[in-house]
A = this chain, B = another copy of it.
Protein backbone atom coordinates (compact mmCIF):
# COMPACT_ATOMS: atom_id res chain seq x y z
CA UNK A 1 0.00 0.00 0.00
CA UNK A 2 3.03 2.28 0.31
CA UNK A 3 2.60 3.35 -3.29
CA UNK A 4 -0.69 5.02 -2.35
CA UNK A 5 0.60 7.03 0.59
CA UNK A 6 1.34 10.25 -1.21
CA UNK A 7 -1.62 10.31 -3.55
CA UNK A 8 -4.17 11.79 -1.17
CA UNK A 9 -4.21 15.30 0.28
CA UNK A 10 -1.65 14.33 2.97
CA UNK A 11 1.66 12.51 2.83
CA UNK A 12 3.79 10.62 5.34
CA UNK A 13 6.86 12.39 4.04
CA UNK A 14 5.17 15.73 4.85
CA UNK A 15 5.15 15.00 8.58
CA UNK A 16 7.85 17.15 10.19
CA UNK A 17 9.81 14.75 12.41
CA UNK A 18 13.14 16.56 12.77
CA UNK A 19 14.84 13.22 12.28
CA UNK A 20 13.17 11.55 15.27
CA UNK A 21 10.96 8.50 14.84
CA UNK A 22 8.03 8.47 17.27
CA UNK A 23 9.27 5.05 18.43
CA UNK A 24 12.36 6.74 19.90
CA UNK A 25 10.31 9.20 21.99
CA UNK A 26 9.99 8.16 25.64
CA UNK A 27 6.69 8.06 27.48
CA UNK A 28 4.30 7.21 24.65
CA UNK A 29 1.52 4.70 25.31
CA UNK A 30 0.78 2.92 22.02
CA UNK A 31 -0.60 -0.35 20.71
CA UNK A 32 2.85 -1.52 19.57
CA UNK A 33 3.76 -1.87 23.28
CA UNK A 34 0.45 -2.81 24.94
CA UNK A 35 -2.21 -5.41 24.19
CA UNK A 36 -5.93 -4.58 24.07
CA UNK A 37 -6.38 -6.29 27.45
CA UNK A 38 -3.55 -4.28 29.03
CA UNK A 39 -4.90 -1.06 27.57
CA UNK A 40 -8.44 -1.69 28.85
CA UNK A 41 -7.08 -2.41 32.34
CA UNK A 42 -5.07 0.83 32.16
CA UNK A 43 -8.18 2.80 31.09
CA UNK A 44 -10.15 1.37 34.00
CA UNK A 45 -7.39 2.58 36.31
CA UNK A 46 -7.54 6.14 34.93
CA UNK A 47 -11.34 6.44 34.90
CA UNK A 48 -12.82 7.59 38.19
CA UNK A 49 -16.37 7.27 39.54
CA UNK A 50 -16.42 10.89 40.76
CA UNK A 51 -14.41 14.07 40.27
CA UNK A 52 -13.97 17.21 42.37
CA UNK A 53 -15.00 20.57 40.94
CA UNK A 54 -11.34 21.58 40.80
CA UNK A 55 -10.33 18.47 38.82
CA UNK A 56 -12.87 19.21 36.11
CA UNK A 57 -13.10 23.01 36.10
CA UNK A 58 -9.77 24.09 37.58
CA UNK A 59 -7.93 25.01 34.39
CA UNK A 60 -10.57 24.63 31.66
CA UNK A 61 -14.27 25.34 31.52
CA UNK A 62 -15.75 23.29 28.67
CA UNK A 63 -19.43 23.28 27.72
CA UNK A 64 -21.48 21.57 25.04
CA UNK A 65 -25.15 22.06 24.18
CA UNK A 66 -27.63 20.99 21.53
CA UNK A 67 -29.64 23.76 19.84
CA UNK A 68 -32.51 22.89 17.52
CA UNK A 69 -31.77 25.43 14.77
CA UNK A 70 -29.67 24.99 11.62
CA UNK A 71 -25.96 25.45 12.24
CA UNK A 72 -25.82 28.37 9.80
CA UNK A 73 -28.44 30.21 11.90
CA UNK A 74 -26.59 29.63 15.18
CA UNK A 75 -23.22 30.63 13.71
CA UNK A 76 -24.58 33.77 12.01
CA UNK A 77 -26.20 34.92 15.25
CA UNK A 78 -23.20 34.32 17.51
CA UNK A 79 -20.75 35.82 15.03
CA UNK A 80 -22.50 39.17 15.50
CA UNK A 81 -20.98 40.83 18.56
CA UNK A 82 -24.35 42.41 19.44
CA UNK A 83 -25.80 38.96 20.16
CA UNK A 84 -23.81 39.13 23.42
CA UNK A 85 -26.22 41.84 24.63
CA UNK A 86 -29.03 39.28 24.50
CA UNK A 87 -27.66 35.92 25.61
CA UNK A 88 -24.96 36.81 28.14
CA UNK A 89 -26.06 37.50 31.70
CA UNK A 90 -24.62 41.00 31.90
CA UNK A 91 -22.70 42.32 28.86
CA UNK A 92 -24.63 45.32 27.55
CA UNK A 93 -24.45 48.71 25.76
CA UNK A 94 -21.78 47.78 23.23
CA UNK A 95 -20.41 50.35 20.84
CA UNK A 96 -17.62 50.19 18.30
CA UNK A 97 -14.56 52.18 19.31
CA UNK A 98 -12.49 51.39 16.20
CA UNK A 99 -10.62 48.56 14.53
CA UNK A 100 -13.29 46.00 15.36
CA UNK A 101 -12.94 46.61 19.12
CA UNK A 102 -16.16 47.17 21.06
CA UNK A 103 -16.65 48.68 24.50
CA UNK A 104 -19.63 47.87 26.69
CA UNK A 105 -20.89 47.63 30.24
CA UNK A 106 -20.37 44.58 32.46
CA UNK A 107 -23.32 44.53 34.87
CA UNK A 108 -21.89 41.61 36.85
CA UNK A 109 -19.68 44.16 38.66
CA UNK A 110 -20.12 47.75 39.82
CA UNK A 111 -18.93 50.50 37.44
CA UNK A 112 -17.16 48.07 35.13
CA UNK A 113 -16.46 48.35 31.42
CA UNK A 114 -15.77 45.43 29.13
CA UNK A 115 -13.86 45.45 25.84
CA UNK A 116 -14.58 42.71 23.32
CA UNK A 117 -14.03 41.54 19.77
CA UNK A 118 -16.00 38.95 17.81
CA UNK A 119 -13.67 36.99 15.53
CA UNK A 120 -15.67 34.71 13.26
CA UNK A 121 -14.39 32.01 10.90
CA UNK A 122 -17.20 30.96 8.54
CA UNK A 123 -15.51 27.85 7.10
CA UNK A 124 -15.03 26.07 10.44
CA UNK A 125 -17.85 28.01 12.16
CA UNK A 126 -15.60 29.15 14.96
CA UNK A 127 -16.37 32.32 16.94
CA UNK A 128 -13.83 33.70 19.40
CA UNK A 129 -14.66 36.54 21.77
CA UNK A 130 -11.38 37.88 23.15
CA UNK A 131 -12.39 40.34 25.88
CA UNK A 132 -11.31 41.99 29.12
CA UNK A 133 -12.74 43.98 31.95
CA UNK A 134 -11.59 47.61 32.36
CA UNK A 135 -9.21 47.97 29.38
CA UNK A 136 -8.82 46.98 25.74
CA UNK A 137 -5.03 46.79 25.49
CA UNK A 138 -4.82 43.09 26.37
CA UNK A 139 -7.88 40.92 25.75
CA UNK A 140 -6.89 38.10 28.09
CA UNK A 141 -10.41 36.73 28.80
CA UNK A 142 -10.95 34.50 25.78
CA UNK A 143 -14.17 32.69 24.92
CA UNK A 144 -13.77 30.02 22.24
CA UNK A 145 -16.89 28.76 20.45
CA UNK A 146 -17.46 26.21 17.74
CA UNK A 147 -20.75 25.51 15.97
CA UNK A 148 -21.01 21.98 14.58
CA UNK A 149 -23.75 20.44 12.45
CA UNK A 150 -25.69 18.09 14.73
CA UNK A 151 -26.80 15.75 11.91
CA UNK A 152 -23.53 13.85 11.36
CA UNK A 153 -22.58 14.33 15.04
CA UNK A 154 -25.64 13.04 16.92
CA UNK A 155 -28.07 12.15 14.10
CA UNK A 156 -30.46 15.03 14.81
CA UNK A 157 -31.21 18.23 12.90
CA UNK A 158 -29.64 21.33 14.42
CA UNK A 159 -26.45 22.51 16.02
CA UNK A 160 -24.00 21.40 18.66
CA UNK A 161 -22.32 24.39 20.26
CA UNK A 162 -18.98 23.83 21.99
CA UNK A 163 -17.57 26.49 24.29
CA UNK A 164 -14.25 26.54 26.15
CA UNK A 165 -12.63 29.08 28.45
CA UNK A 166 -9.08 28.59 29.67
CA UNK A 167 -7.94 29.99 33.01
CA UNK A 168 -5.52 32.84 32.30
CA UNK A 169 -3.22 33.67 35.25
CA UNK A 170 -4.82 37.14 35.54
CA UNK A 171 -7.96 35.46 36.88
CA UNK A 172 -5.99 34.41 39.94
CA UNK A 173 -5.46 36.94 42.74
CA UNK A 174 -2.22 35.11 43.66
CA UNK A 175 -0.54 35.95 40.34
CA UNK A 176 2.23 38.51 40.73
CA UNK A 177 4.26 40.52 38.20
CA UNK A 178 1.23 42.08 36.59
CA UNK A 179 0.96 45.08 34.32
CA UNK A 180 -0.59 48.12 36.02
CA UNK A 181 -3.68 47.86 33.86
CA UNK A 182 -4.44 44.53 35.61
CA UNK A 183 -3.06 45.06 39.13
CA UNK A 184 -4.89 48.37 39.70
CA UNK A 185 -8.38 47.28 38.70
CA UNK A 186 -7.84 43.92 40.43
CA UNK A 187 -7.11 45.80 43.66
CA UNK A 188 -10.47 47.66 43.62
CA UNK A 189 -12.38 46.97 46.82
CA UNK A 190 -15.78 48.20 45.62
CA UNK A 191 -16.40 45.12 43.47
CA UNK A 192 -15.36 41.48 43.02
CA UNK A 193 -12.58 40.66 40.52
CA UNK A 194 -13.62 38.62 37.51
CA UNK A 195 -11.31 35.82 38.64
CA UNK A 196 -13.20 35.52 41.93
CA UNK A 197 -16.01 34.13 39.79
CA UNK A 198 -13.80 31.53 38.04
CA UNK A 199 -15.09 28.70 40.31
CA UNK A 200 -18.58 29.61 39.07
CA UNK A 201 -17.70 29.90 35.38
CA UNK A 202 -19.35 26.58 34.59
CA UNK A 203 -22.51 27.78 36.33
CA UNK A 204 -22.65 31.23 34.73
CA UNK A 205 -21.86 29.82 31.31
CA UNK A 206 -24.46 27.08 31.69
CA UNK A 207 -26.97 29.89 32.29
CA UNK A 208 -25.70 31.78 29.27
CA UNK A 209 -25.62 28.79 26.90
CA UNK A 210 -29.21 28.07 28.00
CA UNK A 211 -30.09 31.69 27.14
CA UNK A 212 -28.46 31.26 23.72
CA UNK A 213 -30.41 28.05 23.10
CA UNK A 214 -33.72 29.58 24.23
CA UNK A 215 -33.31 32.68 22.06
CA UNK A 216 -32.33 30.80 18.91
CA UNK A 217 -34.96 28.08 19.28
CA UNK A 218 -37.76 30.52 20.15
CA UNK A 219 -37.08 32.76 17.15
CA UNK A 220 -36.55 29.85 14.77
CA UNK A 221 -39.78 28.13 15.81
CA UNK A 222 -41.68 31.38 15.10
CA UNK A 223 -40.82 31.22 11.40
Shortest CB–CB separation between residue A63 and chain B, in angstroms?
8
The prevalent SS among residues of A at the interface is mixed
CB of A193 closer than 8 Å to a CB of B: no
Q: Which of B16, B49, B102, B108 contacts A39 (CB 8 A)?
A: B108
Contact B211 A28 (CB under 8 A): yes
Contact A10 B82 (CB under 8 A): yes
Mark contacts of A13-35 with chain B using CB atoms, 8 A cut-off: 1 yes-contact digit, 0 otherwise. 01111111010011111110010
Q: Which residues on A are within 8 Å of B, measured CB to CB?
A: 1, 4-5, 7-12, 14-20, 22, 25-31, 34, 36, 39-40, 42-44, 46-53, 56, 59-60, 62, 64, 73, 76-77, 79-83, 86-90, 92-98, 100, 102, 107-110, 118, 121, 123-124, 126, 130, 138-140, 142, 144, 146, 148, 152-155, 160, 162, 164, 166-170, 197, 199-200, 202-204, 206-207, 210-211, 214-215, 218-220, 222-223
